Amino acid sequence: AVLRNPAVIRKNCYGSGSIWAATLAARIWTITATAQRAGCNPLAYLIAYLQECAAAGGRAPNPAALERFFPWVASETDLVEWRMSPPGPMP
């Protein structure tokens, strides 16, 4: 079931078209699948991560800040936030 969404999207988009696009897609699907398996809303999880990147000047958070996003060590406050649907219209 976890592989179904990427397979359908890949088929509908006629493949990735390039190695870098396939690598990026694989990384995003891995991150969102990890969030989903932890009971988190993947969109809320990604929004929180991207907000942290923005706070870090548009770069990936430093290793200490990045650990916050591992569901197995995340705070209960973060997990509650990531399990809710983000505000606004769904994409």
In this structure, what is the dihedral angle of CA atoms 74, 78, 83, 89, given to the nearest 10 degrees?
-140
Residue bearing tokens 């923005």: 54
Residue 89 forms part of a structural domain:
no
Full domain range(s) for residue 53: 4-83
Residue 88 forms part of a structural domain:
no
List the pLDDT tens digit at each of the 91 positions of the chain. 555 666 666 665 556 677 887 788 888 888 889 999 999 999 999 999 999 999 999 999 999 999 999 999 999 999 999 999 877 776 5
Cβ atoms 35, 2 nearer than 8 A = no
pLDDT at residue number 85: 84
pLDDT at residue number 26: 84
Number of structural domains the chain divides into? 1
pTM of the model: 0.72
Cβ atoms 43, 49 nearer than 8 A = no
Residue 79 forms part of a structural domain:
yes
Q: At what angle do helices 42-55 and 19-37 cross, to 10 degrees?
A: 110
Cβ atoms 73, 67 nearer than 8 A = yes
Residue 60 forms part of a structural domain:
yes
